[in-house]
Structure 1
Amino acid sequence: MPTGDDFKPIRTKPWKFGLHSTEEFGQEEKDLVLGVLEKKRVFRFYGNDKSQSEAYQLEQLYRERTGTKHALAVNAGTSALVAALIGAGIGPGDEVIVPAYTYIATAAAVLIARAVPIIVEADDSLTMDPQAFEAAITPYTKAVIPVHMRGVPCRMDEIMEVATRRGIKVIEDVAQANGGSYKGKPLGSFGLAGCFSFQQYKLITAGEGGMVVTNDETLYERVNI
């Protein structure tokens, strides 16, 4: 007969929850912020030397990190998704497949683009189920937004195979897996565009902000408008 000793709890202290991103703020971050104030350059288009713009430097970092040709810093992760959708030509009457488990911004961005979000199931990884994605495709489906949740990448091999075979544009939502990779390839570099968030609850933060990366010239031109 089991005794009390056989049922010892694995953890006896409560979990502590907090914002991981801001916990990493240190002297380096303070020096960088003060450097901006000392330069008195808080507008990215001020002056002729764009390399002095912190926004440009961040874009360059993401171009190098993701191996993409273009990167554009925007004011929020939601704005990154909206810009990518509209840049991809998504609009009224189009259906965009999104996973059931994500932040509301994923579906909201589709609505802002005046398209229709189609919600599909997540699998055991808590990311989009590739089979559910394919089953939801209709003649009106124009795009899919796989969301890499809580640092876990989607099954991008299967999602990209379905999307390529069915002629569907892939826009990655990397807001919750910034810096992650799938089989050695950086997240955000698989589809037509990758979208990142720098909101305070995310892994890397500027308080607010977002980023769009892409290899597509037309999409990049459109998101700059």
Structure 2
Amino acid sequence: MHFTAMLGVGIAGAPIRYDVPMTLLSAVIAIGVVLIGLTIVTRGRRQSVSLPLGGAITGLGVAAMHYLGMRAMRTGAEIAYRPELVMLSIVIAVVAATAALWFLLHVRGLIKTAGAALVMSVAVCGMHYTAMAAMRARHSAGVHAVDGVAPVQLVLPLIATVSLVVTGLVIVVGLAELDVDAENRAGRAPLGRASGGDWRSTDPANRSDGGGQWPRRN
């Protein structure tokens, strides 16, 4: 979303180019922090700790991706930022990332997932455009040469990056689902064959209160 939106950025009377290595670095940061956040949340045993930690790391990483991507923008204008809107964009990024990870853990079903995706898309766009509202561009004196590539030349790397991110997310979420299924199977009470040919639960929690008898399995 960030890189597509940046293709629409324009400054009147000033050319815009992008530093390719720095732009790619911002994409790598985004992929890395999302992977770290997902790993913390899906592998963590205490959600009260892993969810806020994973959300904070992911949100700060997304904000870092945005502002590093903005730093990669080359233009003849002087760029400045309003600190209060920068801080607000970071808060939105952290809250949105935490909400996304919560949805990952708790939301099931097509309709609920579609609703969660809609909420997250609004949150991510809100973070981006709040950060863009913080930017102020002012024409500097004199003529400055601008190095870098034109925005349209970022389309192919954009498609490749999005494909990698989506593939990685699918793999991580799939592994998380397998882990949850394995834990659910491990948590079920094992069944053993008692004397006399009756199947009885070997879980002491299922024993009846009277006479130490085990309930018969139907």
- Same-fold call, TM cutoff 0.5: no
Higher helix proportion, which one? 2
Name the structure with the higher strand share.
1
**If you compute each CA radius of gyration, which structure gives the higher value, 1 or 2?**
2
Q: So what's the TM-score if we normalise by structure 2?
A: 0.21
Q: Report the TM-score, using the length of structure 1 for normalisation.
A: 0.21
